Amino acid sequence: MIPETRYAKSGGVNIAFQTVGDGPVDLVYVPGWVSHVELAWELPDLAHAFERLSSFTRLILFDKRGTGMSDPVRDQDLPTLEQRMDDVRAVMDAVGSERATMFGVSEGGNMSILFTATYPHRVDALCTFGCFAKRVWSEDYPWAPTPEQRQATYDLVERDWAGGMDVASIAPSLGRDERQRLTAYMRRCASPGAALALLRMNTAIDVRDVLPAIRVPALVMHRTGDLDAHLDEGRFLARSIPGARFVEFEGQDHLWFTQDPDAILDEIEELVTGERPAPGVDRVLATVLFTDIVGSTDRARELGDRPWAELVGRHDAAVRRELQRFRGREVDTSGDGFLATFDGPARAIRCAVAARESVRPLGLELRAGLHTGECELRGDKVRGIAVHTGARVAALAGPGEVLVSSTVVDLVSGAGIAFEERGEHELKGVGTRRLFAVTGA
């Protein structure tokens, strides 16, 4: 579920923000170039990273003015670092956060550095990823792009933003479909004028003189082959911030969430909580099942609160009986639906069919969706692309329909289960899949 988006006033501008999780400490995520607090949840890798951060903090997300869900501003009025600090302070005040850890990525790291030095009484710790101290070349800072290289980037944005930029330079590890998804996300985060103006603003960034003033625990992280911000820029930050710890990760991606983000999240969790997460996160092949009551909103309105609650209770008991019978593990319930996992896809299908039949005497109709893939198990929670895929499949199921991905069909060959093909479908955030309806189990 996408968290609720709310707004904080900062100098007359509405700043969009979300809070996720209820951890004992606050963490403010400061995005890089462009962002969108709602569309970000459609990127599976970023959604996973946010979920992980919110498992040990109260995560505070926001869009800088002129981007995402925040108020648009005229291109010539796009924010300075000082105004962006005001925006963060306004969001922290709105959620009642007196102190927080700042996690800034790319240019978001610069603002985080400035905020930490200016308001040390509001910052517990600072962590950055893929950050730089300066954004244009000089003799005493030779790793940044030259003015000519920056101009070439401006020209690229002006020419290709509307049609879709090639993001291979910031996330070369992604496949073609993933790059297209990321390009579409970035295009919806900001207008071409806003994206270009932010680039020009970034060119003026120089926080070198601020670095020695940092007086909180600091973690500086960088990938060894980052194609957008040179590794030596991260090393420079770590040398210049008193007591900072520097951690290098293998890879070329400038985006922090596209290449083994869990290794980065482990470092952040240790910084924030003082404890490193236990190694060896369980990754297992599992079949995920999503169920949902068809027409629940209308039925609840028709019956009223108490009768509807009683009916949902009977529904829950019926579904749980089938989960127990077919060795399913209940992971979550969300009002009128279930998420469960199975160690066998055939059992998962038979459970879905049995659950559908068991609630019909109650006057209820279920829809269900299944997918099999690698899942990450963290305590009682289950995460990963397979979970997102299962949810998207379930959303396409019709009343009374048990819909499955082609992966499930391939794995139950010979199990005596009959299917009818429903064609290829574009599943938001996870690509194209062939889907099949169960016609006999």
Domain boundaries, the chain: 6-273, 282-440
Span 52-67, average pLDDT: 94
Span 162-168, average pLDDT: 72
What CA–CA distances, in Å, run from 281 to 50, 266, 383, 419? 17, 11, 11, 35
Span 420-438, average pLDDT: 87
Q: What is the pLDDT of residue 70?
A: 95
pLDDT value at 173 more than 70:
yes
Sign of the CA dihedral running 355, 357, 361, 367: positive
Q: Which CATH class is domain 6-273?
A: alpha beta
Range in 1-10, 138-147, 324-333, 375-384 the model is least confident about: 375-384
pLDDT value at 198 more than 90:
no
pLDDT digits (tens, 9 = 90+) for 290-335: 999 999 888 888 989 899 889 999 999 999 999 999 999 999 887 6
pLDDT value at 377 more than 80:
no
Range in 320-329, 385-394, 422-431 the model is least confident about: 422-431
- Distance in angstroms (rounded) separating the CA atoms of residues 145 and 134: 10
Contact 80, 115 (CB under 8 A): no
pLDDT digits (tens, 9 = 90+) for 357-373: 999 999 999 999 999 98
Span 436-440, average pLDDT: 94
Q: What is the pLDDT of residue 119?
A: 93
Q: What is the pLDDT of residue 279?
A: 56
Q: Is 233 left (phi over 0), alpha (psi -120 to 50) or beta?
A: alpha
Q: What is the pLDDT of residue 162?
A: 65
**Nearest residue to 297 (alpha-carbon basis) of 310, 313, 308:** 308
* Other Cβ atoms within 10 Å of 200 Cβ, number: 13
Span 19-26, average pLDDT: 92
Question: Taking all residues of the chain, what is their mean pLDDT, rounded to a whole number?
Answer: 90
pLDDT digits (tens, 9 = 90+) for 245-256: 999 999 999 999
Q: What is the pLDDT of residue 83?
A: 86
Q: What is the pLDDT of residue 79?
A: 74
Q: What is the pLDDT of residue 402?
A: 96
pLDDT digits (tens, 9 = 90+) for 95-126: 999 999 999 999 999 999 999 999 999 999 99
* Reduced 3-state DSSP string for the chain: CCCCCEEEEECCEEEEEEEECCCCCEEEEECCCCCCCCHHHHCHHHHHHHHHHHCCCEEEEECCCCCCCCCCCCHHHCCCHHHHHHHHHHHHHHCCCCCEEEEEECHHHHHHHHHHHHCHHHEEEEEEECCCCECCCECCECCCCCHHHHHHHHHHHHHHCCCCCCCCCCCCCCCHHHHHHHHHHHHHHCCHHHHHHHHHHHHCCECHHHHHHCCCCEEEEEECCCCCCCHHHHHHHHHHCCCCEEEEECCCCCCCCCCCHHHHHHHHHHHHHCCCCCCCCEEEEEEEEEEEECCHHHHHHHHCHHHHHHHHHHHHHHHHHHHHHCCCEEEEECCCEEEEEECCHHHHHHHHHHHHHHHHHHCCCEEEEEEEEEEEEECCEEECHHHHHHHHHHHHCCCCCEEEEHHHHHHCCCCCCEEEEEEEEEECCCEEEEEEEEEEC
pLDDT value at 280 more than 60:
no
Q: What is the pLDDT of residue 76?
A: 59
Q: What is the pLDDT of residue 241?
A: 97
To the question of pTM greater than 0.75 for the whole model, the response is no
| Fold held by 282-440 | Alpha-Beta Plaits (3.30.70)
**Nearest residue to 433 (alpha-carbon basis) of 399, 417, 410, 400:** 410
pLDDT digits (tens, 9 = 90+) for 250-278: 999 999 999 889 899 999 999 999 987 66
pLDDT value at 20 more than 90:
yes
Q: What is the pLDDT of residue 159?
A: 85
